[in-house]
């Protein structure tokens, strides 16, 4: 496969640049994209220069004044058209995601489906950007709150979900009356170009101006421009905790708003009453899916001593069945890591596991030979460890599953789960109602996502997505996450001929 096979997305040439919506331009250093599936060169994107970035932001600011005055349901109509276009392009865009990022084709299709789902959600939302009516303590007064567009939203996304996370932000921000500037990962730039081509076509067909949706390409320096820019009202950043801390500090210094979706160190608690067949399926998909490169990937399996040996035996047997290879081949369960830097981090983590006393149950290695020429294919690992090991306390973006034994009550397992700095996704496998409810209570999981009898990986767009602690505290996608993209305003209307003051204060002249 090569990029020309993706012609339905109009990604035909090897020179791509910055888009302000309809016009492409850029003259900075070239970013080459290589597929981790076979190591082949796909195409190149020119980076955005500072001068070109200034043009993009100026156009976005100008266009936002126009876009915010379009009624929200009319903005929703544009997102409806985006969802329809994505349905038509699902197969080819899913294939591009799989080829450039390395996840399985089924997961690539699933990622595009997430884009379609959030468009559907946003269309309905466009008629429900509601506030609240509040009873006033003063007679003849009415109070209410309402929401207005923020302005320009900067979106910084990671390589592992190269299109879906943009859509989560873009669909909501655009419906809310904001315009967007997207800085995609330099590891998956062509996925961003493809998405921008799709939305640009829709904007052009509906006679809408440039600047509603823009892409700026480049390395971390471009992300820094966005974080520092006072003209950008909200910076939504997805990536590592290290990156998120830098963005948060920079944005906070200018008293801006940030929405952060950062690292995860997700655990499944397995109690004595768990359905072990469900447990194994959930744990294996959570640990191996996307080659362990999801923020919600299962990193730790915390298993009660009564079922520990049985779970261990079943896991090892299941791992023997994992097929690794070209992610576009639907017979394979796992594709490659994103690049050789990720492979080095994987190998380094395995060394640390051994140095800190872990027992490797399923050995890890880099695969070589026919079909593995990219050097990015590795085998999934299972390691018996103690939760306090330094390596276990950190997120490794690779298919490494830590097996941890707990004894006694389920609260002991919950405490182990909560004892890491990250707080994104969590799950418990149990058929005991009391254990399930405890896990979901204030004394249970401290994560933003807590599941019962499903794994840590795979969230629906209807619920708010995000986590606590070093995961950043942000919420994207469903529920009332849309409020992050708007500014709140409280209004009081006096419809009497008098001016009573609040709290009964008298001020007579």
pLDDT of the residue at 27: 78
| Assigned CATH class of 266-452 | alpha beta
Give the confidence band of 25 by pLDDT, cuts at 50, 70, 90. low
* Cβ-based neighbours of 177, under 8 Å, separated by 6 or more: 64, 67, 68, 70, 72, 75, 148, 149, 486
Closest listed residue to residue 166, CA positions, set 187, 195, 189 = 195
Give the β-pairing of 359-362 and 381-384: antiparallel
Q: Give the H/E segment covering residue 196.
A: helix 189-205
- CA 79 to chain CA mean position, Å: 19
pLDDT in tens, 37-71: 999 999 888 999 999 999 999 999 999 999 999 99
Are 393 and 402 a contacting pair, CB within 8 Å? Answer: no
b/e per residue 46-61 (b: at least 16 CB within 10 A): bbbbeebbebbbebbe
Secondary structure class of 359 (helix, strand, coil): strand
pTM for this prediction? 0.94
- Start-end of CATH 3.40.309.10 domains in the chain: 266-452
b/e per residue 469-491 (b: at least 16 CB within 10 A): bbbbbbbbbbeebbebbbeeeee
pLDDT in tens, 89-103: 999 999 999 999 999
pLDDT in tens, 130-171: 999 999 999 999 999 999 999 999 999 999 999 999 999 999
Residues with catalytic roles: 261
Helix axes 220-228, 50-67, angle to 10 degrees: 50
Fold of 3-262+472-489: Aldehyde Dehydrogenase; Chain A, domain 1 (3.40.605)
- Number of other residues whose CB lies within 10 A of the CB of residue 145: 13
- Start-end of CATH 3.40.605.10 domains in the chain: 3-262+472-489
Are 349 and 398 a contacting pair, CB within 8 Å? Answer: yes
Residue indicated by tokens 């969230």:
459
Residue indicated by tokens 């097929």:
323
């Amino acid at each position: 496969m090569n990029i020309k096979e993706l012609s339905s997305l109009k990604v035909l040439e090897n020179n791509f640049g910055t888009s302000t919506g309809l016009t492409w331009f850029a003259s900075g250093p070239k970013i080459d994209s290589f597929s981790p599936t076979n190591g082949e060169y796909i195409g190149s994107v020119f980076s955005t220069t500072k001068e070109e970035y200034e043009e993009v932001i100026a156009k976005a600011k100008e266009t936002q004044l126009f876009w915010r005055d379009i009624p929200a349901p009319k903005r929703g109509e544009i997102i409806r058209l985006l969802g329809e276009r994505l349905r038509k392009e699902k197969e080819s865009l899913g294939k591009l995601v799989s080829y450039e990022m390395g996840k399985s084709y089924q997961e690539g299709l699933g990622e595009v489906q997430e884009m379609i789902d959030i468009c559907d959600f946003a269309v309905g939302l466009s008629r429900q950007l509601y506030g609240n009516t509040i009873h006033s303590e003063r007679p003849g007064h009415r109070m209410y709150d309402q929401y207005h567009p923020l302005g320009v939203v900067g979106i910084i996304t990671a390589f592992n979900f190269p299109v879906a996370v943009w859509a989560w932000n873009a669909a909501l921000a655009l419906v809310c009356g904001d315009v967007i500037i997207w800085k995609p990962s330099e590891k998956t730039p062509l996925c961003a170009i493809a998405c921008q081509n799709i939305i640009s076509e829709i904007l052009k067909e509906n006679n809408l101006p440039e600047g509603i949706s823009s892409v700026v390409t480049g390395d971390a320096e471009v992300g820094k421009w966005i974080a520092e820019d006072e003209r950008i009202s909200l910076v939504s950043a997805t990536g590592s905790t290290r990156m998120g801390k830098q963005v948060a500090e920079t944005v906070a210094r200018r008293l801006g708003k940030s929405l952060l979706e950062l690292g995860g160190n997700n655990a499944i608690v397995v109690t004595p009453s768990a359905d072990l067949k469900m447990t194994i399926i959930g744990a294996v998909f959570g640990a191996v899916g996307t080659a362990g490169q999801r923020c919600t990937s299962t990193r730790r399996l915390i298993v009660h001593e009564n079922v520990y040996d049985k779970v261990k035996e079943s896991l090892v047997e299941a791992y023997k069945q994992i097929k690794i290879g070209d992610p576009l081949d639907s017979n394979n369960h796992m594709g490659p890591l994103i690049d050789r830097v990720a492979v080095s981090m994987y190998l380094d983590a395995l060394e640390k596991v051994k140095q800190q006393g872990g027992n490797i149950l399923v050995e890890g290695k880099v695969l070589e030979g026919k079909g593995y020429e990219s050097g990015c294919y590795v085998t999934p690992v299972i390691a018996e460890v103690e939760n306090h090991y330094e390596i276990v306390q950190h997120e490794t973006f690779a298919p490494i599953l830590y097996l941890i034994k707990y004894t006694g009550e389920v609260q002991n397992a919950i405490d182990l789960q909560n004892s890491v700095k990250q707080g994104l996704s969590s799950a418990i496998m149990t058929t005991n109602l009391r254990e399930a409810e405890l896990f979901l209570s204030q004394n249970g999981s401290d994560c933003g996502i807590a599941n019962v009898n499903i794994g840590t990986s795979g969230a629906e767009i209807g619920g708010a997505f995000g986590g606590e602690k070093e995961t950043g505290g942000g919420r994207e996608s469903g529920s009332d996450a849309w409020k992050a993209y708007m500014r709140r305003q409280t209004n009081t209307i006096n419809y009497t001929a008098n001016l009573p003051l609040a709290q009964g204060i008298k001020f007579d002249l």
